[in-house]
Amino acid sequence: MMPSHLPHWLQSVFHSGAQPYVSDLYPKLGDTVTLRVRVHSDAPVRQLYLRTFPDGEQLFTRMRKAEDVPPASWWEVELEIGEPQVHYRFIMESADGVFWYTALGSAEHEPSDTTDFRIIADYEPPGWVHDAVFYQIFPDRFANGDPSTDPQPHEYDYRGMRPHTYPWGTPPPAKAWSPVNFYGGDLPGITAHLDHLTRLGVNTLYLNPIFTALSNHKYDVGDYDHVDPHFGGDQALIDLRRALTERDMRYMLDIVPNHCGYASKWFQAAQADFNAPETEFFIFHDHPDDYEAWLGVWSLPKLNYESLELRRRIYGNDDAVFRKWLKAPFSADGWRIDVANMLGRQGAVQLGVQIARDIRSAVKTARPDAYLLGENFYDAAPQLQGDQWDAVMNYYGFTHPLWFWLSHYERASYKLNGKILSDGPSTTTAMTTSWLARLASYPWQIALQQFNLLGSHDTPRIRSIVGENDALHRLATVLLFTFPGVPSVYYGDEIGLTDDDYLRSRGCMNWDEATWDGDLFAFHQQLITFRRRSKALQFGSFQLLHVDEDCVAFQREWERERVLVVANRGTESAEAIPVAHGGIPDNTVFRDFVGGQEATMSNGQLILPATGQGATLWQQIA
């Protein structure tokens, strides 16, 4: 948020990468777009300037006063898209001094270019993603459609461990090795329950790995060329694709190009023969048993992208892994790339940028509208400039700041003994500052594609994060569907699943509807319906309007649609929210989408009914 010593009117200064602030969201190189800035009508602004940096030289351009529609005045200017990526900011002359405005907000100092607004020229988005609502499935734990393919102890030995399939939802033995504890979930089980997903309203599946592997999680891939037979094999994926097409639904596959499994046919060939072609796919310190593995985990040998043959097999050839599964008959709609932050990186060898760009080229050649999603828990801004991933799983930019606000701060790393913990939740300012800083680090075109989530197979479930507090769970869900980006529901969150005592967030889906939280399911249905219809939530700007100890309010705008979100973690109702600096005139009327109550702007404040703890979503109606 803006420092408190700055003039109050600076809160009303606003620009975004969305319409009506940028006339064209996806311009071509050589196009000219119109940029608009909104300020309060009473702001003592004498002149605004656009600051650009064409070919490395600073350029200031005077803006013109466009219109005055109280409580807002508008300034505009033309910007030529003369480079593959154009970055810009604004400078204001006023009676109170000279101030700068960037994607991070107003400042009295000259900010660095890293906080500039950005526009990518000639960017082709995976357009279907904008109205997508994803549903993540961990296949072994979702539904058992064909018990005849359940893994059995006699089938294989995983370095002394054998697979066991347990009755659905029952705990495994205390000393059982987690990766070979199965419950029989498979692709036919997913196909059989598509009616549940269409009733919920989701339209895109994200499947955790399905390729042949020995574990239940299948991040230890053994064969990239086939669906695991315990999941139904290749035909089961073809059948699922057909069933999804009939319902106008899509799906995204999960791939592990950073490492493979100990039982991989490539790794076994390399171990058996030092002169095998596959030996160069790995980093052997002392052949055959001393090798580089992901975070030192013996079952996950790391792939070596110095090998040109490995690159050809993974993405380069016409029938390479990244290309094959995007084509008929499988026709996947996108890829989620495991540990994308580590791909092609090992000590002195730092090939990550090159490999990511190569993968993008291969994927977009095979299917131009494919969604290319990277897993990255940290700052992924360098990978989100239009030349690598379309998006990342937005833990860093959305999920973690929200968790810390609703529960407590917590951080760990794989070599740290213990965790870094706070005694209580983070401040609202900490959360919103994190949100804005992340959004400021990449173009708005990319922000609209970010993969937002409340939890996944790698994290606790959101209902457990909030201590099974239903109001806070719903608050988090409202923010999931209204924050810039694409929302994803983790299987079972819609019915109130919590972390399992034994399986944690990877517990078995509960198919006994009598035990579901039906109100929570209906709440998800409502929000999904609203998200899929709302252009403001799919494309609109994001402006923070209010931040206090327990409450945050923001608005999303697109053309004539305006949506306000008020999230209150406290138990006392937020009754009057000052939002005039959002350009909202008095007497504007809003209706809460979920509850149907109305609220009216008066004296620059949104007067709210008593709602208590939770979140409300307000749509302008008059």
Write out pLDDT tens, residues 556-581: 999 889 999 999 999 988 788 999 89
Tokens, residue 42: 């009473």
- Tell me which of 76, 375, 390, 494 is the catalytic residue: 375
Write out pLDDT tens, residues 16-44: 999 999 999 999 999 999 999 999 999 99
In this prediction, residues 86-97 reach a mean pLDDT of 98
> What are the b/e assignments for 564-578, b being 16+ CB within 10 Å?
bbbbbbeeeebeebe
- Tell me which of 228, 278, 338, 390 is the catalytic residue: 338
What pLDDT was estimated at residue 245?
98
What pLDDT was estimated at residue 414?
87
What pLDDT was estimated at residue 2?
65
Q: Annotated catalytic, 470?
A: no
CATH of domain 132-146+183-257+305-536: 3.20.20.80
Q: Name residues whose C-beta falls within 8 Å of residue 115's C-beta, 6 or more positions apart in sequence.
A: 89, 102, 103, 104, 440
> Does 249 have pLDDT greater than 70?
yes
Q: Annotated catalytic, 289?
A: no
Give CA–CA dist 287/298, Å, rounded: 14
In this prediction, residues 57-70 reach a mean pLDDT of 95
Long-range contacts of 509-516 (CB under 8 A, 24+ apart): 509/141, 509/142, 509/143, 509/185, 510/169, 511/143, 511/193
CATH of domain 259-302: 3.90.400
Question: Residue 45: how many CA atoms within 13 Å on its side-chain side?
Answer: 29
- Report whether CATH 1.20.1250.20 matches the domain 8-120: no
CA 58, 387, 402, 178 torsion: positive or negative? Answer: negative
**Which residue in 363, 329, 311, 356 sits closest to 124, CA to CA?**
363
> Does 530 have pLDDT greater than 90?
yes
3-state secondary structure labels for all residues of 75-121 = EEEEEECCCCEEEEEEEEEECCEEEEEECCEEECCCCCHHHCEEEEC
> Does 534 have pLDDT greater than 80?
yes
Whether residue 329 has a cis bond before it, omega within 30° of 0: yes
What pLDDT was estimated at residue 35?
98
* Averaged confidence pLDDT in the chain: 96
- Check: CB of residue 207 under 8 Å from CB of residue 139: yes
* Phi, psi dihedrals of residue 439, rounded to the nearest 5°: -60, -30
Write out pLDDT tens, residues 101-156: 999 999 999 999 999 999 999 999 999 999 999 999 999 999 999 999 999 999 99
Percent of the chain with pLDDT over 70: 99
DSSP sequence for 170-190: PPPPTT--GGGEE----HHHH
Structural domain 541-620, CATH architecture: Sandwich (2.60)
- Domain spans, the chain: 8-120, 132-146+183-257+305-536, 259-302, 541-620
Q: List the alpha helices (DSSP H) in 313-396.
A: 321-324, 352-366
What pLDDT was estimated at residue 1?
58
What pLDDT was estimated at residue 377?
97
In this prediction, residues 63-76 reach a mean pLDDT of 94
- Fold match flag (8-120 vs 541-620): yes
pTM for the whole structure: 0.97
